Amino acid sequence: MKVVVSIGGSVLAPDLDADRVAGYADALGQLDAAGHEVGVVTGGGTVAREYIEAARELDANEMELDHVGIAVTRLNARLLIAALGERAAPEPSETYEEGREALRRGDVPVLGGTVAGQTTDAVSAAFAEYVNADLLIYATSVPGVFDADPDVDADATRFETLAVSDLVDVIAGIEMNAGSNAPVDLLAAKLIERSGIRAIVLDGADPQRVFEAVADDAHDGTEIVPDGKV
């Protein structure tokens, strides 16, 4: 199976926790050893937000802030590459083309951000489409997709399975201010809808959940399926 794993920065390296990074490298290495083709996209997380806020206070414009965030996502990519060792392409892939070439060589490509104006949520969906992935996994800080922001609405309900067009509607309806608990952004949802790729949104606090979702098709998150297949 060809799978793209999107790992949020706060999930991959909370407080720059080396053990968590090593745990993800182990889970991804198990998938690679089992014969799966694996590509990874890393987010920026809390560190990126702190740098962006500092740069904003220094009057950086939005384009400059995007580049600050991209730089941090690539630092997180380098952490994971170090943990993966020889399994990974030696440098973060900065374009989809570089990532696809690494997959074709048998390496695990690790991407961060690619261009300003696009989150790593969207990068993950676009890369999955570009390489014709069978599965896209979002390892996030929330345990799936809810019908409302669970941090705001105590009655928010998690979906076990969700048609991709409904995902677009749900995400569009959640307030997208800083701190909202939308598991993916709207552009990512639109790209998933366009590509028809099966996707899973799950709690990534334990890296083994990613392994189990791919290897055993077992997870406690939300499965996103093409319309008509729910």
Compute the distance between CA of residue 29 and CA of residue 107 in angstroms, rounded to an integer.
Answer: 11
Calculate the CA dihedral of residues 187, 188, 193, 194 and round it to 10 degrees. Answer: 70
Length of the chain: 230
Amino acid 159 reads F
Write the burial class of residue 1 (CB in 10 Å: 0-12 exposed, 13-18 middle, 19+ buried): middle
- For 28, the token pair is 């991804």
Give per-residue pLDDT as tens, 62-113.
999 999 999 999 999 999 999 999 999 999 999 999 999 999 999 999 999 9
pLDDT digit string, tens, across residues 123-166: 999 999 999 999 999 999 989 998 877 777 888 899 999 999 99
